[in-house]
Structure 1
Amino acid sequence: SLQPPALVLVPQESLSSLTSARSQICRYPLGMTGGQIQDEDISASSQWSESTAARFGRLDFDNGDGDGAWCPDVASEPDGLKEYLQVDLRSLHFVTLVGTQGRHADGMGKEYAQRYRVQYSRDGSSWVGWKDRKGRQVIEGNRNTYDVVLKDLEPPIIARFVRFLPVTDLSQFVCMRVELYGCEWLDGLMSYSIPEGHQMIYRGLDVFFNDSVYDGVSTKGLGQLTDGTWGLDDFLHSHVYAMWPGYDYVGWSNKSFPKGYVEIFFEFDHVRNFTSMKVHCSNMFSRGVKLFRQVTCFFRSGSEWEADPVTFRPAEDRVTQASRFVAVPLGDRTASAIKCRFHFSDLWMLFSEVAFQSGSAVYNTSLTPQDPTHKVDDSNTRILIGCLVAIIAILFTIIVIILWRQVWQKMLEKASRRMLDDELTARLAVQTRAFSSHHSSLSSECGSTSNSTYERIFPLCADYQEPSRLIRKLPEFAHCMSCSVAPAAGGSDGAPHYAEADIISLQESSDNSSNSITAASMTLFSSTDSSMREFPRQKLTFKEKLGEGQFGEVHLCEADGMQDFLDEDLSIEGTNESPLLVAVKTLREDANKNARNDFLKEIRIMSRLRDPNIVRLLAVCVDTDPLCMITEYMENGDLNQFLCNLRLKELIGMAVQIASGMKYLSSLNFVHRDLATRNCLVGRNFTIKIADFGMSRNLYRGDYYRIQGRAVLPIRWMSWESILLGKFTMASDVWAFGVTLWEILTLCEEQPYSQLSDEQVIENTGEFFRDHGKQVYLPKPPCCPDKVYTELMLSCWRRNAKQRPSFQEIHAQLNESLA
């Protein structure tokens, strides 16, 4: 019999193809073939004999025991509703593909299922029969016993339990082997309840906005809002061939809701901590359709709804009629159910997809849903105790290794301090510890064999820093964690933010090919004759709080008499005005010693950075606590908020300024590590200056991925080697620049990879590492010239960091496009 591929993937198309990136990525075998699904999780309505029991229904799985398939004890009926083979996936999964095969029986079997149906359930009690988008339930199966036949489930299903029901005439016996393909359903959404969709009559054309694949009877189901397919810009057309106008959307008319809003109820598998909700909406205002004006979400963990809801108002767009995802921040609220009221802003409101980002919350065990079909087997107690003992032994070994490495690291640090001047170790930001996680001495060596379901990948251990914990999210990396690699530099105590909310979070390059800060280049920073002058605190008038980070806050202040403190070469917008608006970063008085030293080092470095596209340090207040640094204030805020209704030439002009600032930083061998539009500030006359305020503002909290107890990372802007290998270089900043340019040319209307969850973004970086052509790129923005996308953006995202352009080359190329 033929061996099915370990990973089944269709050819990658653009992100506007038939299915979403979730459907393209979620095509991993779920464990029937590889044995990850246990025998006790495979059951059947009946069996012909002990040798054709349910446990033998694994696709292409033959251990020499049994006849190589599941066969019911009687012939299946024509409707296929009696005999079934059932698989329990133990948790909710997004199932996109199924595979079937006939009986093996050492080549003697002739039984196979020519047709079959699929049923599924999320709770083990309520079962739903799958049907395709045109209502057909029967799936064409096998024509012989040995070929593996793969069938897309379109629409995909979200389920824990899946049944295969063979369909045949009464004269034929059938046997089946099966596999399911998909990935775990991380949203945790069990069901949603919505009002029935309405019908629009547009120029004599009937447009239906009903949820045609909803699998609930009247409520408590899932459907088009979670099917992984989002609507086109023009709702009259559909992704799916030969479907009616409006098929991709679920929509409602304002006239039918006297309160002015549509209420949608979402129920989840357990109590979760919610970060954000993403809603894909139509904005074809020329036909009376707009984004929702406001959404108010209520939360429930027990039996009562909490009194304080979360309210969000998206920015109104009267220029672009493109559909888009709207990210609704949910403020880390804890709940097992959410009720959201979406308010109309026009005659119609159309949704095609809703997704949630959340993590499991800590909650009382009495609220944990009980498994209705599985009970604890007391016979496994001894095995459980043995596992616990083994885990304790492993943890003890790891602790010993960690302590030994810390002692060794301190010895190395003492030796290095005797060789280098203190100024040589000046850094603009605390190095994150997320990329120095300790590897286990119990792991197998690189290159050892594995029973992994996934294709084997062996990282080049000698060339890279030690992988971070994110690398463990890709199964093939978990087998190579004992490689002999050098640990990354340590950071400050505690769990650091990605960039510690520094105004400019820069770090010397970790690329061995770059000349990091040598004694020659450090002369720029070693002198003290250019240190900042002390500014009188009493001349600072607080206006408003701009943001806060782990160790400090950023305030908007008026500085009276600041003109007297400015250097002759410093041109500050509005210096003739008195007082001058400035941004003041303060360090909390309770900050630890490391944070205090880093703050002072940052002042020393920033006082010497002089470039028209880098935020300038004006003065300091360090005579008493709290320590303060005073920088330019850019009156138009950050670039993410500023971009709106600008012509392409103006957008490219902004990108040129960002490239110019990064060219300057790269000339000093500094790596920014968090380049994005949220960290580019806008002054008068469209002046752009690079900073690092993004992490300090809750507005962009959803742009960062939190590793529990460790770092906060902007993974959607990071290169694959930064995420998987903890490697930060100028080339990784180039990658982030490509994403930033994409933000600019899309007018920041959506988050990069908005159609992917954080986990899927990390999975996609694994595809960049494997380099098999399956990685998903950001699509070309509608207003982006082909040459800018193909020759600049895509070159910034090349797998080989050495093949990416330098900022000098990027700056020159962008200038040429303006000519």
Structure 2
Amino acid sequence: MLFFLLLVLQGNAHAQIDPAHCRYPLGMEDGRIKDDDITASSQWYETTGPQYARLNREEGDGAWCPAGLLQPSDVQFLQLDLRQLTFITVVGTQGRHAHGTGNEFARMYRLDYSRDGETWKSWKNRLGNKIMEANDNAYASVIKDLHPPIIARYLRLIPVTKLPTTVCMRMELYGCPWHDGLTGYSSPEGQVMAAPGYPISNLNDSTYDGYHERRKLFGGLGQLTDGVIGQDDFLLTRQYHVWPGYDYVGWRNESLGPGYVEMEFVFDRPRNFTSMKVHCNNMFSRGVKIFSEVSCAFKPRLVADWEPQQAVFRTVLDDRNPSARYVTVPLGRRAAKALRCRFWFADAWMMFSEISFQSADTVIPTLVPPLMTTSCPKLETAIPTQRMETTAASKDPAEDGSTSILIGCLVTIILLLVLIIFLILWCQYVCKVLEKAPRRILEEEMDPPYERVFLLDPQYQDPSVLRHKLPELSQSAESSGCGGGYAEPDVTQCTPHQCFQSSVPHYAETDIVNLQGVTGSNMYAVPALTVDSLTRKDISVAEFPRHRLIFREKLGEGQFGEVHLCEAEGLAEFLGEGAPLPERDGKPVLVAVKQLRADATNNARNDFLKEIKIMSRLNDPNIIQLLCVCVSSDPLCMVTEYMENGDLNMFLSQREIESTLTHANNIPSVSLSDLLHMSVQISSGMRYLASLNFVHRDLATRNCLLDRRLTIKIADFGMSRNLYSSDYYRIQGRAVLPIRWMAWESILLGKFTTASDVWAFGVTLWEIFTLCKEQPYSLLSDEQVIENTGEFFRNQGRQIFLSAPPLCPPSLFELMMRCWSRDIRDRPTFDRLHQALRPHASQ
């Protein structure tokens, strides 16, 4: 028994990942990283595109080269999607040699990385430097170790220069998969130990990549996951040129009132946790001991409550051996996406250098733990106890009792599994029966009033696509038909029977592509415009000289078009006084240029002209304005405003809420009044669109642009940008939908109205007051989001709502909840939303 306890206490002598051995090439050179997963902010030619940035290979023109001369202020990047969380320890770079014909390379670069594709962080070494030395010739490779390593799925390599120069690069990454799946931990800040006769020990988490607020760490990873194990004497370090105590994060008992350190751990997906390993210092002569007890609570989803039943583990304290050691905490295969663990002090100080988790990706939900505990007392200890008793006395009557209990528990578990399988099969049978129900019965159950709605394609009648995708939800949605009475712009009016014939099957790819416009962004839905009526005289903006548009960056692309960031020379003089342009002090004006591809179809060309006509009708301070066009020759272009602060999602995700700490450390921040002011502006812009009977269909922070004065203008570029591809659900390989922002009737019935825009506005408010740190319904997969829409339709109280953001006033969250009302009659109009928000912003 003592040997067993020592094994649990001592654990393994090595970290979960050893950076010295985690140095495997990740697939740039050998092609395991596919071309589709390598993108760039720009490229000089097609033959110097990002797919040619592979170390030691010289396809194309030999490397990735960003467009034009790289200026010291430019931010050009090569981006990799590794398709899974990865522990990255080494970066290798080369220039462009191309068998002696090329001589371009980067002397310096920096790295940005992201674990979710939304929040980007800049890598810094242990001394805080971001810039890494790269190449000094075009052919030799330079290998650089990352201290600390990076845990990320996405990585951007950003060349840096002091003088304007041409840059080309090839690269390889080295590391290994991050099986922990841990994406962030939160804890109190580490503290300083100062004792007479000893050097001052700063026990802070110096490489933490989350944010700090009120002496707490949130949302990042740091020294507790860098693979570096602290030594027995915490004053000694394994790194050079760092301070005493660097390898540990430590806390003093007296400074934390409850007598414990509380830490929260968030993972990439739900897992079944078998154990947690915590590497602790035990230098008791200095008042440092391993924790006396730990209790862990589990949360199956981030929006759920902590489960009441906790895993509790008490350690065996050791006052004879001062060695640092791993403590392995069994977690009983509990299913969760987040853990909250409280580590109780055993002495004045507690110090950790590494925390890791063992788990299974395939989640088996925790099945009613209290019931199993009642039926099978001490099941976890039955097996080791039985073995020891068998060794001591093979005929001990207690053995028969333990065996009977164990067999009884196993039989109970098997019966539960059989019952669960039966219920699943029964549910599938019932769903099939419902699918075969006569349409006449479903029509009789419809609500009598019908609604005038915008339908994607009234002629399309094949329901197979949606039913294949959602066999249960599509039939349920049909039974609702045209229920509701929200007054909306009318493109098509349907009777109850016609709604069944045309409104349900809206996952057809032809419908969705038509919905998305030629550049991949959402065209506004408006009362019907006939293509035949569109001529040059219908376009109310002027023709701009094409040669004055200077390409800066590709913002994104769609099926038939692209969106570019350009400089427009002489645009202010061209448009004259009163033009909605920012002050540029004589410099060229930044504009967004939507360009139709040369291979676009005639239908796409007509749709592009239709979009120009729609955009030319818009004139509001909170709506992106069409400035001019280039349609006298191909390719057709429309030129719209572009704000220097970019989109609202990127702007907020790079900031913290204003506080004394952000002022003291010059951290970019926004105030609560700023967020309210942004909300009022978006509601004002949407009120204007609603007054013209326009339906946006993709309202989100990614589609709101800001200028330097925090003025917001609503746009529609988000869908075309690779940066936000994860916000859209792909249908049949090509078309996409922003399902996390869409109302239930838009997903199930294809109904897009001002009421569905109100729903999206509620989600946009939620984004703003979370500072865009989290994707809506981040704990749900796309399929689960669609299933949740069915729960909104059924309205049986099982639907999952977004939780209240910590920064959000209760009255404002109540307004969000009204935007997500199941019945569209209960949702406020944009006029009422604007009136309700203005008093908040003026406080």
TM-score, reference length from structure 1 = 0.46
